[in-house]
């Protein structure tokens, strides 16, 4: 393990990404046991800093930490206090003082996780920094793909939705491309970064073409607050052109794997019948999320190569 922190998959070596995923499967087995706890991180202090609302990621990290027997402190703060810009520096100083082994941070500003590493000795795990990266989400997505397909190399993966504002998309792109998958992004053209091809991904504006091409598609949550404020004209228009609807999937003969990072807007980016069908591995993703986060914390907090 070369990594000291997990900031993003762009900067994480390929071998480390594989190790995070493979060790994730070991923890996945532990999660199937009657007692889903190992004592590995006994005595380690982990603080969860959430400067942005999050339910799923926070619960998933908390479960992972508890199941590794770590001591946890939670700190949540609203995005509005971040807007004043004071939080990060104060936080840095507080963490210094508290002698924390590991910080799991979600922050609305891109780069805040890497900035934290400049000031703090603790292991930093990025739980989402603005529109930059959400590496553990991408790791759990890739773990779920590996679970289903056995391998990631050569897989054709489509990512559908608001690519521009999605840290999930960016982390998935970096990770999947590194592990040898082919990636295409699909969404309204103005919600895809100009020049995204430079990251070695394809761009497709027609979601039906994408479905025909892909082995699996990862459907991003469409933020309702972006609807009808001139960015996405309306729900029905989005559904018509990019929604993974029952009718659309019926028209395609092939059965592809459907993923979603959650929480799902049923009837917007995906229909319930698809989200609840056998082709969806959304609930596996949730379980793998805990496992892969255990793996990340375990490997980073016990990283010998750096000591």
CA angle (258, 263, 264) in 5-degree steps: 55
Contact 150, 207 (CB under 8 A): no
Instruction: List the strands of the sheet with 102-107, edge to edge.
Output: 71-76, 45-50, 102-107, 123-129
Query: Is 247 near other proteins (CB under 8 A)?
Result: no
Residue 37 touching other proteins (CB under 8 A): yes
Whole-number Å distance between alpha carbons of 221 and 268: 9
Are 103 and 44 a contacting pair, CB within 8 Å?
Answer: no
**What are the tokens at 151?**
């391998």
Q: How far is CA 147 from CA 10, 20, 33, 226, in A?
A: 23, 14, 18, 34
- Binding of other proteins by 184 (CB under 8 A): no
Rule CB under 8 A: say whether 142 interacts with other proteins: no
Q: How many CB atoms lie within 10 A of CB 194?
A: 9
Judged by CB under 8 A, does residue 293 bind other proteins?
A: no
Between 128 and 243, CB nearer to other proteins: 128
Answer whether 156's CB lies under 8 Å from 184's CB: yes
Stretch binding other proteins (CB under 8 A), from 58-66, 77-85, 153-161, 216-224: 77-85
List the one residue from 99, 230, 247, 305 that touches other proteins (CB under 8 A). Answer: 305
Q: How far is the CB of 272 from other proteins (least distance, A)?
A: 31
Cα first-last separation, the chain: 11
Binding piece for other proteins, criterion CB under 8 A, among 34-42, 138-146, 222-230, 277-285: 34-42
Quick check: 178 binds other proteins (CB under 8 A)?
no
Stretch that binds other proteins, among 19-27, 140-148, 218-226, 255-263 (CB under 8 A): 19-27
Footprint on this chain of other proteins (rule: CB under 8 A): 1, 10, 23, 25-27, 29-30, 33-40, 82-86, 88-89, 107-112, 114-115, 129-133, 167, 170, 193-196, 198-199, 298, 302-305
């Amino acid at each position: 393990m070369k990594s000291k922190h997990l900031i993003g998959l762009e900067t994480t070596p390929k071998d480390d990404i594989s190790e995070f995923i493979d060790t994730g499967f070991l923890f996945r087995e532990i999660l199937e046991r009657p007692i889903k706890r190992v004592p590995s991180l006994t005595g380690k202090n982990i603080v969860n800093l959430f400067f942005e609302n999050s339910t799923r990621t926070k619960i998933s990290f908390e479960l992972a930490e508890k199941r590794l027997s770590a001591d946890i402190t939670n700190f949540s703060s609203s995005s509005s206090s971040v807007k004043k810009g004071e939080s990060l520096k104060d936080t840095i100083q507080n963490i210094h003082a508290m002698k924390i082994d590991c910080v799991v941070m979600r922050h609305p500003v891109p780069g805040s996780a890497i900035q934290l590493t400049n000031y703090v000795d603790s292991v930093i795990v990025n739980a989402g920094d603005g529109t930059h990266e959400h590496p553990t989400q991408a790791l759990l997505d890739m773990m779920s793909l590996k679970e289903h397909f056995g391998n990631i190399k050569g897989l054709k993966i489509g990512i559908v939705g608001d690519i521009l504002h999605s840290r999930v998309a960016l982390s998935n792109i970096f990770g999947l491309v590194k592990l040898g998958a082919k990636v295409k992004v699909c969404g309204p053209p103005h919600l895809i970064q100009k020049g995204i091809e430079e990251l070695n991904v394809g761009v497709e504006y027609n979601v039906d073409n994408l479905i025909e091409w892909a082995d699996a598609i990862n459907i991003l949550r469409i933020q309702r607050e972006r609807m009808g404020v001139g960015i996405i004209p309306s729900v029905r228009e989005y559904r018509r052109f990019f929604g993974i609807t029952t009718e659309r999937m019926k028209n395609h003969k092939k059965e592809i794997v459907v993923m979603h990072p959650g929480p799902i807007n049923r009837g917007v980016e995906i229909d319930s019948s698809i989200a609840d069908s056998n082709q969806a591995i959304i609930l596996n993703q949730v379980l793998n999320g805990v496992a892969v986060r255990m793996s990340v914390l375990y490997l980073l907090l016990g990283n010998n190569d750096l000591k």
